[in-house]
Structure 1
Amino acid sequence: MHAIPPPEPPLRLRDLIDAMRKLGHAVRQLQPPAHVSDARGAALAVTTCEGAIVSVNRSAAGLLGYASADLVGKQLADFAHDEDRAAFEKPLCSGTDDAFRSFDVMLAGRTGRRMSFHVYQQTFASGDPGRRLRLMLFVEPVVGTAAELAPAAAHTELHEDAQHRRAAWLSMGQQRERQRLAAELHDGMGQALTLIKLMVEDARMRLRRGQADDAAQLLDATVLQIRDTIGEMRQICGELRPLALQRLGLPAALSTLCRRVEQSSERLRVVFACGINDGNIPDHLKADIFRVVQEALNNIVSHAAASEIHVELQGDATTLLLSIRDDGSGYDMHPLTGGAAHSNGLGLIGMQNRVEAHGGAFTVSSRSEGGTEVAASWRL
């Protein structure tokens, strides 16, 4: 008989958000900023103290070349290269009483390529009083060439202010992200197009041999592959910038999003109010605001059992305010399953990361009259 693994400890959203805030505070205390995170969003995972993956967000899964669902339940140490596994397991599974710690690891993705990361780890309580969980933030060390590091060094020499130092590191992070996107297009889209080319050539050869039925079946499979490839390309483009923003502007794009969500459910009412013109919203905030609203609405529809949602975007000369309120069950009323943690828990943390990356403030709170409010604010 096969041994039955112990059940995963329950993951509560309130504990997860609290752990992320503590982790963010601890990371900000480390000076100088020696690492940069993925520009598309923080790479986050929740594991048990034994290293089993409870939940992982899309950014972290993408670093290893997998979908999030493929990683849940696996041991994180399994993704270490054979030569690095022993060195990785020691910091991963030791120090269970340490609330916060950081260490370097070497992981191997699906392709076998070894990648170096720095891990910031925050231990927090689970719904099971006897077990604890760990929130992990994976970031890539900045190990560029002297020519690559020189501009940032010169910039910090001229500007000692902390904001300018962060801008220098962010610029380097953006360059790293461009390199990652190029690799994603080459490894993903490039291989898909190569496969399509080979399938078409095979079908053509079968036609020449008179194997029309075999060629037709192969061409049908090729059409499906082309559809998948188009979907992958749209997904990559959508991550870079939502198309609705370019065509409509942020207020109109949010209004369209709210109408679409409302039409998807017979019992849900979504009210959108905007007190600011698109031209008065900084361009660098528009995509993040759209993504925050999109993620919040998805969370409410999937988990809150709400009947009414209010989305408000207001602003004046100094401040931009975003609020998403619902009359559902409240964010802290139920423990999260492994699957729900990605879409709800780590999704909220991704929202927080988007807001705070541009100096904003992010809060999630249960309302006294019932339901949840997600709020964000930025100084203009």
Structure 2
Amino acid sequence: MSDPLSCPEFFQNPYPFYDELRAAAPVQQVNTGPGGRPSYLVTGYAEAKAAFTEPGLSKNTARFFAGRSSGRNLHPAVAHTMLATDPPEHTRLRRLVTKAFTTGAVTRLRPYIEHTADRLLDALPKNGEADLVAGLAIPLPVTVICQMLGVPEADRAQVRTWSNDLFAAGQPQRIDTASHAVAGYMTDLIEAKRHAPDDSLLHDLIAARQDGEQLDEDELVSLAVLLLVAGHETTTNFIGNAVLALLQHPELLDRARTRPDQVSSMLHELLRHDSPVGIATFRYTTQPVTLGETEIPAGVPVLISPGAANRDPAQYPTPGCPDAERDARGHLAFGHGIHRCLGAPLALAETEIALRVLLTRFPGLHLAVAAEELRWRRTRLMRGLESLPVFTR
């Protein structure tokens, strides 16, 4: 079939497309990308959860694309991150950064996150129009991950621009250019940290390499780029999507506003309802694989859609309606298995603090435009708003 994931309507609202595809078959062949490359798209919940732990699916993009000319000029530090590896390489790399994102480590960061959120909201009008994506959803996680990595404040706006360009669907030259810019920047920053050590996560990674953890220079740059980009992109979308869901559903908004202690318990349902990741990163079959009732041959790309799986009515009745009473902790917004997002505790803390502080400061918050007028980012991987105009009061 033709590519169902490329039309403008899909970027604005992918859920009718996901529903139609899932109803036809929870796993099916589609044509995606330039030239219509055959891939298999997974939209069913049970099938997606199984795919995330399927040993016959690999993330080793270097091996898949070896000897194939893509015509692209993506920097290796972006093309071959930890996300594009399998065990044991993935296990070794992930171990080096996991301690920075444990629940305990995130708890120690909470005062800084709250201070940052308060400072950002201080800059918004107390009774006027504001864009919550530009004013809160972007700068909060960008500031936190840059602080963790030791990125100077003067460079953070440029870093965000490069990161945004990396997800520009249908614009390969823009993506490739951004990949070289951000990789070059992190290479220079790593060298600067060697000459001026500090207490940043980036310096910890440099030290780990020097302590015999077998982290070579290319791996160090790649990990730094991945943490920089993944450390805020998902959370930016999560915050924007969550605020919009609350503003569109008065019963949820009222609960979050009057019972701020319950905001944290609502986060998983908000993630399930509008996942910040629409299509998970690249995988392919290393051997014939069966998902559900579909047999997939070896050597074929497989696209797992958390956005579609989290709206599967077989798993979540009335999936299009967020329900604060629903136990949605089994959602797939953070993935599943060994590649589950290691930054999940940080994303949850940042979003919980952002929502709580926002609704406390602006109890009369409401949309400044009709929901149908909102524009969404043109990227298959991410699901996030370009802007979120609101009236603050």
Q: Does the TM-score normalized on the shorter chain lie above 0.5?
A: no
Which structure's relative contact order is higher, taking Cα pairs within 8 Å and 6+ residues apart? 2
Instruction: Judging by fraction of residues, say which structure has more strand.
Output: 1
Structure with higher Rg: it is 1
- Scaled by the length of structure 1, what TM-score is found? 0.26
- Scaled by the length of structure 2, what TM-score is found? 0.25
